[in-house]
Chain A
Amino acid sequence: MSSDQDHLKETDTEARFEFKKDEKSAFETEKGLTEETVRVISEDKDEPEWMLQRRLRALKQFQEMPMPEGWPGAPDLSEVDIDHIVPYIRPDIETRGGAENWEDLPEEIQDTFDKLGIPEAEKNALSGVGAQYESEIVYQNMQERWEEKGVIFCDMDKAVQEHEELVKEHFMTKCVPPSDNKFAALHGAVWSGGSFVYIPEDTTVNMPVQAYFRMNSEGMGQFEHTLIIAEENSEVHYIEGCSAPKYSAFNLHSGGVEVFVGENAHVQYSTVQNWSKNTYNLNTKRAICEAEGTMEWVSGSMGSKATMLYPSTVLKGPGATDNHITIAMAGEGQDIDTGAKVYHNAPDTKSTIESKSIAKDGGRTNYRGLVHIADGAEDSSTSVECDALMFDNDSTSDTMPYMEIQESKVDVAHEATVGKIGDEDVFYLQSRGLDDDDAKQMIVAGFIEPITEELPIEYAVELNRLIELEMEGSLG
């Protein structure tokens, strides 16, 4: 274990990227993902037997399931060679904290964070083991306040040990079973880290719960699992700070998010992801919403080479509500295929989807959504609004909504527009003294305002900065 760590320490940034291709890993004797790999992960985490069994079952499903294929216009996943990628899980776990020092981060990432104005403390929090503790201390402080109310917020690996019954009942059983898709199955087999959030009945956590530990060793990993359980009448806003680019040698991120929204509970899940542009971002995120509950998804997808991400909500109880606000931006070489899925399975359920996308420099954005209104979900309503902005002729912007309506007493509306950035608007702003770039940035900022206003101010600022950087072409 330590020799691997030493090996990493010795190599410079570039070599670390190369490392990926060298197939030098703790599992170098094994090709692909094997039962042994899974057993070692589970053993390393000292997991109970049932979790190991779940992992092994997921592995079996993963091996049997086909790649997502036959989707019109789906991103090209042919490069995603599981045999190549999966053996690298082990070094990720072994080395406990990827980059040990801030200085080990690739220069472009450092630059990005400097430009983002991420506070020094946060930089440290992202830079390795020490910082990892630091971030845990932050959580600990928060926990003290919440603990009195019975709120639980901890690392997912820890939750398996300390909140076993809750995890056992909810973990990849009802919400995102491994059988959902090939990458959910992969996730189920090799998941590691992530957040566990439990809000007891009648409890309101009135400040956002933030998770920044993505780059930490315990919470590391491109296979992190987030499990949020909000009991009856509770309320929580969970924010995932994925603005930390997963620059590392791994090029597959396959996270899982499961949210249980109890009766009359309210959960908001916000995330701004900015994976490095060699990352395939293939997540499965789903919420189950009981009667009168409200689920809100707010997401910004900026980075990655290819993203396939369709946060979905099952409106299970009468009067449940689901709102999606998404923004996607694709630059050179990026294929951001994202959208939302809503299943209206009960009467009086409501959903809204608001999607904005920006494509530039040959990037591709696609809204791919599904609205399903089941027979019996009477008096349900849904409205989908997609707007796409395109900067140039090398870019592509697609909209592929699917609507399955099996109930007549409903109100379904879908609307989408695509347009170029308005020459007149740019001209107007220029005539007021702004240069071309500033004018365009201002137009984009206005375009995405409905999203940013849903985010806490620091995230909104960050999102805006990310977009500014992206538009300057200064993000690696």
Chain B
Amino acid sequence: MSTQVHATLSEDAVEQISSDLDEPEWLLETRLSALEALEELDMPDVIQTPGRKWTNLDALDYETLVDPLDYAQDKDRIDAEGVDVLSWSEALDEHGELIEDHFGSVVDPQRDYLTALSTALFSAGTVVYVPEGVDAEDVKIRTTMNSQSLFNYTLVVAEESASVTILERQTTGEDIDGDQYYSGVVEAVAGENAYVQYGTLQNLSEESYNYQVKRGHADTYGSIDWIEGNIGSRLTKSSVETRLLGDSSESQIVGAFFGHDDQHVDIAARVWHEAEHTVADLVTRGVLDDEARSVYEGVQDVGTDAWDTSSYQRENTLMLSDESEADASPKLIINNHDTEASHSATVGQVDAEDMFYMTSRGVHPEKAKNMLVEGFFVPVLEEVAVDELREDLDQLIYERLRE
């Protein structure tokens, strides 16, 4: 057993949650086996180099962080015409079979300790169901965590030729003091020729620990785009992943983070090319100030059958402080030679020449630096197709620079 299981992480607690949501038997069983598996499961994989784990998840103290039955949130769901954006109780009621078909099909409920914990205990969340041919541009989900811990589970199913853009904001309520734990699992299924864009803007309190897995399956001609904005939390471990399962499917993963104080951001962007003519583009930019630390892992995995693959990855980190640390490992795994793949990563500081140029034009150094940092994010912001998400992210960056 890898981690101490809290005394309140009991079958009773899980049964209570399940009954609160009025769940069918199969879901309760899935939860209970996830709970049981906690005994066996390890923490999520983190990058290791000799003598060093880049993110120390074992340091999380679940004893004090997790209280399964104390969950409170504010949730706004703004749906669009023709699409169902439902709470779990409603969704189970209306789309029981659909959920049974897809739940756990993309993210293995027992992928690791923290995912299994989320499966066993989730009480909040949303199901987004986009029927065949429906275009839904403006689904918004705003989650405000008002309890010590919150387990959020989102399932997105876009049927053939459907399209949906979902914007999720994650924040913390103001009335909670002390350490908090937020766990989010997102499963996205894009049917044939379907398009799913899922943007997240995470601005949890800096006393919170944040674990997220977002993973999608794209069918033929399907597209899954992720936008991953991380501003808040003390420690974030987030994996954003797409399996390109159908011919000519595509995925873009755009990430932006801005760490300050002693924040630790561990982000993974992973794509598996498993069919022909698939395309992936991974773009991440991050800024680190004070003692903040970033860990980035990018994986482009091209399978044996993935003929005619195009796969690109870029990661750039800007360090504003000597006390900060940026760790990166962009990985290429290529099993089909009919591939055009590249990745690049850079780490540096604000360009001295740019600073000189701007200050010589009379711009105050502090302001010049802020402008350059904002400018640094522009290539990523440009990739964010959702106006509102882009503007909010821009605003948060602006505010952080002027704190």
Q: Apart from A72-B331, A414-B346, A419-B341, what are 13 other A-B pairs with CB-CB below 8 Å?
A: A70-B48, A393-B337, A395-B335, A396-B334, A397-B332, A401-B331, A403-B328, A407-B322, A412-B347, A412-B348, A418-B332, A418-B334, A419-B339
CB of A274 to closest CB in B, whole Å: 24
**Does A416 belong to the interface (CB within 8 Å)?**
yes
- Residue among B325, B329, B335 making CB contact with A400, cutoff 8 Å: B329
- Residue among B333, B337, B342, B345 making CB contact with A403, cutoff 8 Å: B345
**Given that A408-B320, A409-B349, A412-B347 are known contacts, is A393 also in contact with B304, CB under 8 Å in the complex?**
yes
- Residue among A391, A397, A402 making CB contact with B329, cutoff 8 Å: A402
Closest-by-CB residue of A relative to B306 is A393
Q: How many residues of A contact B (CB 8 A)?
A: 39
Q: Which of B54, B334, B343: most chain A CB closer than 10 A?
A: B334
Q: Are B325 and A406 in contact (CB under 8 A)?
A: yes
Q: Are A390 and B339 in contact (CB under 8 A)?
A: yes
Q: Using an 8 Å CB-CB cutoff, how does the interface string of A397-427 with B read, 1 for contact, 0 for none?
A: 1111111111111111111111111000000
Q: Are B347 and A405 in contact (CB under 8 A)?
A: yes
| A359 to B339 CA separation, bound complex (whole angstroms) | 13
Within 8 A of A (CB), among B146-185: none
| A368 to B325 CA separation, bound complex (whole angstroms) | 21
Q: Are B331 and A400 in contact (CB under 8 A)?
A: yes
Q: Are B347 and A416 in contact (CB under 8 A)?
A: no
Q: Which of A390, A405, A410: most chain B CB closer than 10 A?
A: A405
List the 10 closest pairs (A to B, CB-CB), nearest first: A390-B337, A408-B319, A412-B347, A399-B332, A417-B342, A420-B337, A418-B341, A415-B344, A414-B345, A405-B326
Q: Using an 8 Å CB-CB cutoff, how does the interface string of A95-107 with B read, 1 for contact, 0 for none?
A: 0000000000000
Q: Are B338 and A420 in contact (CB under 8 A)?
A: yes
Closest-by-CB residue of B relative to A409 is B349
CB of A157 to closest CB in B, whole Å: 30
Q: By DSSP majority rule, is chain A's interface helix, strand, loop, or mixed?
A: strand
Contacts of A407 in B (CB 8 A): 319, 322
Closest-by-CB residue of B relative to A359 is B337
Q: Are B325 and A390 in contact (CB under 8 A)?
A: no
Interface residues of A (CB under 8 A from B): 70, 72-73, 359, 370, 375, 378, 388, 390-393, 395-421
CB of B356 to closest CB in A, whole Å: 15
| A399 to B342 CA separation, bound complex (whole angstroms) | 10
CB of A184 to closest CB in B, whole Å: 12
Q: How many residues of B contact A (CB 8 A)?
A: 39
- Residue among B48, B324, B329 making CB contact with A408, cutoff 8 Å: B324
Closest-by-CB residue of A relative to B342 is A417
Contacts of B330 in A (CB 8 A): 399, 401, 414, 416
**Does B386 belong to the interface (CB within 8 Å)?**
no
Q: Are B319 and A395 in contact (CB under 8 A)?
A: no
| A234 to B350 CA separation, bound complex (whole angstroms) | 38
Contacts of A395 in B (CB 8 A): 335, 337
**Given that A402-B47, A404-B49, A410-B349 are known contacts, is A416 also in contact with B320, CB under 8 Å in the complex?**
no
Q: Are A398 and B349 in contact (CB under 8 A)?
A: no
Within 8 A of A (CB), among B307-326: 307, 317, 319-326
Q: Are A398 and B333 in contact (CB under 8 A)?
A: yes
**Given that A398-B332, A399-B332, A414-B346 are known contacts, is A393 also in contact with B338, CB under 8 Å in the complex?**
yes
10 contacts between A and B (CB under 8 A): A378-B322, A392-B337, A398-B332, A399-B331, A400-B332, A402-B329, A403-B328, A403-B329, A403-B345, A409-B349
CB of B267 to closest CB in A, whole Å: 14
Q: Are A416 and B338 in contact (CB under 8 A)?
A: no
Contacts of B329 in A (CB 8 A): 400-403
**Does B359 belong to the interface (CB within 8 Å)?**
no
**Does B336 belong to the interface (CB within 8 Å)?**
yes
Q: Which of A401, A402, A411: most chain B CB closer than 10 A?
A: A402
| A301 to B322 CA separation, bound complex (whole angstroms) | 38
**Does B327 belong to the interface (CB within 8 Å)?**
yes
**Does B392 belong to the interface (CB within 8 Å)?**
no
| A265 to B238 CA separation, bound complex (whole angstroms) | 46
| A372 to B323 CA separation, bound complex (whole angstroms) | 15
Closest-by-CB residue of B relative to A397 is B334
Closest-by-CB residue of A relative to B296 is A403
Q: Which of B52, B322, B332, B336: most chain A CB closer than 10 A?
A: B332
Q: Are A416 and B344 in contact (CB under 8 A)?
A: yes
**Does B388 belong to the interface (CB within 8 Å)?**
no
Closest-by-CB residue of A relative to B321 is A408
- Residue among A72, A398, A402, A413 making CB contact with B334, cutoff 8 Å: A398
Q: Are B333 and A390 in contact (CB under 8 A)?
A: no
**Does B383 belong to the interface (CB within 8 Å)?**
no
**Does B340 belong to the interface (CB within 8 Å)?**
yes
CB of A166 to closest CB in B, whole Å: 29
| A210 to B320 CA separation, bound complex (whole angstroms) | 47
| A395 to B326 CA separation, bound complex (whole angstroms) | 33
Contacts of A415 in B (CB 8 A): 342-345
**Given that A403-B327, A403-B328, A408-B322 are known contacts, is A418 also in contact with B347, CB under 8 Å in the complex?**
no
| A400 to B329 CA separation, bound complex (whole angstroms) | 7
- Residue among B304, B327, B341, B345 making CB contact with A417, cutoff 8 Å: B341
| A401 to B304 CA separation, bound complex (whole angstroms) | 22
| A399 to B333 CA separation, bound complex (whole angstroms) | 6
**Given that A410-B348, A416-B343 are known contacts, is A405 also in contact with B325, CB under 8 Å in the complex?**
yes
Contacts of B336 in A (CB 8 A): 393
CB of A211 to closest CB in B, whole Å: 29
| A132 to B156 CA separation, bound complex (whole angstroms) | 72
Closest-by-CB residue of A relative to B348 is A411
Closest-by-CB residue of B relative to A423 is B338
| A412 to B345 CA separation, bound complex (whole angstroms) | 8
| A411 to B352 CA separation, bound complex (whole angstroms) | 12
CB of B318 to closest CB in A, whole Å: 9
CB of B328 to closest CB in A, whole Å: 5
Q: Are B335 and A396 in contact (CB under 8 A)?
A: yes
| A391 to B339 CA separation, bound complex (whole angstroms) | 11
Contacts of B317 in A (CB 8 A): 405
| A432 to B297 CA separation, bound complex (whole angstroms) | 44
Closest-by-CB residue of B relative to A382 is B347
**Given that A393-B336, A396-B334, A418-B332 are known contacts, is A412 also in contact with B346, CB under 8 Å in the complex?**
yes
| A399 to B334 CA separation, bound complex (whole angstroms) | 9
| A395 to B333 CA separation, bound complex (whole angstroms) | 11
Q: Are B324 and A391 in contact (CB under 8 A)?
A: no
CB of A406 to closest CB in B, whole Å: 5
Contacts of A393 in B (CB 8 A): 304, 307, 335-338
| A73 to B323 CA separation, bound complex (whole angstroms) | 32
CB of A76 to closest CB in B, whole Å: 16
Contacts of A388 in B (CB 8 A): 332, 334
Contacts of A391 in B (CB 8 A): 337
| A410 to B348 CA separation, bound complex (whole angstroms) | 5
CB of A178 to closest CB in B, whole Å: 15
